[in-house]
Amino acid sequence: MKILMGTMNPGKIEACRKAFSKYFDDVEVEGVKVSLDVPDQPVNKEVFQGAKNRVKNLIKYAKENNVEADFYAASEAGITNLLTDEWIDVNTVAIERKDGLKSVGVSQGFMIPDRYVDEVKEKELGHLMDRLFSGKDLGKTKGGISSLTKGEVSRIDMVDQAFTMALITYINDDMWK
């Protein structure tokens, strides 16, 4: 099974492979750099829109380059305060199967302290995490969440969870027909 993933981020690609492998055999994930068409630090609905835009741009890329895939997938992280007054960081996923069936999923989230929200909106959460935890490109590996949870949860875990939630549509196919 071939999945085109709208990123070159190795952590996101690994999370995609991990989630799909729970339900499907012979999973191959190929990362492709595509545009998300929202700000680098998505806020509120832009978080889902960024993932959906990546999938749309991935399908366009595949058609233009004669690339076939069973699924087109993307993950986007961002902050939201739509469900509560506090700002929460979440990972979202959008998936489209080759027959056009679409799904979305979201991970657990964690609160961003008020004193950091403006910095995150301006520069991206990854810059803040790298600064706070003396890292470099933490978002491409375990993420700042690994430091915040003392190693209990990694960014790969959060993206895997969002993928698992999105895959519900395909592993329970009859419910969505």
Question: Higher pLDDT residue, 154 or 97?
Answer: 97
pLDDT band at 140 (very low <50, low <70, confident <90, very high): low
- Contacts (Cβ under 8 Å, ≥6 apart) of 24: 1
pLDDT band at 139 (very low <50, low <70, confident <90, very high): low
Residue written as tokens 């790969």? 156
Distance of CA 117 to the CA centre of its chain: 20
pLDDT band at 135 (very low <50, low <70, confident <90, very high): low
Q: What is the mean pLDDT of the chain?
A: 90
Q: What is the pTM of this model?
A: 0.90
Are 144 and 158 within 8 A, CB to CB?
A: no
Q: Is the pLDDT score of 138 beyond 60?
A: no
pLDDT at res. 136: 63
